[in-house]
Amino acid sequence: MSDQSQNAKTFTSLHKKGDPVILFNIWDAGSAGAVREAGAQAIATGSAPVAMAQGFGDGQNIPLEAALDNTRRIVAAVDLPVTLDFEGAYAEDPQSVAENVKRALDCGVVGFNFEDQIIGGDGLYETAIQARRVEAMRAACESAGIPAYVNARTDIFLKAPAVTHDDAMLNDAIARASAYEAAGASGFFAPGLKDEAMIGRLCNATNLPVNIIALPGAPDTPRLAQLGVARVSYGPVPYRQMITWLTDLAHSAIHYRS
């Protein structure tokens, strides 16, 4: 078994309902090393911080080759499983999804975040269409011989203010989780969901390990664990906090006479 395959199995095993793996998202080899030194069990990129650190906006604005080059450097810098926030896999049709997944696997990653929003467009892919895209991602992983973790993400909650989240949205998310599971997803990612009751219902309604982002206003990690969450990630929060710190420090240095 290759090291990459073993890392993929190790990464999958970290996802336990009620005992979530913590992924403090990084953006380059240096930040990956810092998080590794903090005791991380795995490394996760964040699409927004990766793009912003290179001067691009989120939403597949950083060129694919640049994103993959960055990924190679991250994988080479740490001796931990690395999962890639691959947004929409820089593709629409399933065949192109599969081709780009294979390119990313060649970089050494062992997992993916995969969004159901239409990048550069409006709304979300229909559930059946996105399920075929998830199926293509899983098939590409199997073809490469890497049991990669496919974290199927729904943007239902992220695209709407938290105060508008309701049962209809939750039911849609649960239906998508079921369809994505059948298509080969390893986990289900619901960024933007903060309501404790809804998180608990989602965790109970799907067999897939549920991923929640620790955004301001979300339950803390101990409470998320009690609700059955299996993965807690931090998305763009670490990068934004670092930029705020850097800006404040630079301001103090530049305006030392003030």
Cα–Cα distances in Å, from 216 out to 161, 187, 191, 246? 13, 23, 12, 21
Cα–Cα distances in Å, from 181 out to 11, 99, 144, 148? 18, 21, 20, 14
pLDDT per 10-residue tile (average), the chain, 258 residues: 91 98 98 98 98 97 98 97 98 98 98 96 96 98 98 97 96 98 98 98 98 96 98 97 97 92
- CB-hemisphere CA count at 13 Å for 35? 28
- So what's the pLDDT on residue 2? 78
Encoded amino acid at 64, one letter: L
The DSSP result for 1-63, as a single string, is --HHHHHHHHHHHT--TTSPEEE--B-SHHHHHHHHHTT-SSEEB-HHHHHHHTT--TTT-S-
**What is the C-alpha end-to-end distance of the chain, expressed in Å?**
61
Rounded to 10°, the helix 94-105/64-77 angle is: 30
Domains annotated on the chain, with CATH: 3-254 (3.20.20.60)
- So what's the pLDDT on residue 135? 98
Structure tokens at 215: 């955004």
Matching residue, tokens 């050494």? 108
- So what's the pLDDT on residue 257? 86
Please state, in angstroms and rounded to a whole number, the distance separating the CA atoms of residues 22 and 17.
12
Helix (H, G, I), strand (E, B) or coil at 219: coil
Please state, in angstroms and rounded to a whole number, the distance separating the CA atoms of residues 199 and 187.
14
Residue 58 phi/psi, 5-degree rounding, is -70, 165
Find all residues with CB under 8 Å of 39, minimum gap 6, and list them.
none
Torsion of CA 66, 63, 233, 19, to 10 degrees: -70
- So what's the pLDDT on residue 1? 61
Encoded amino acid at 79, one letter: D
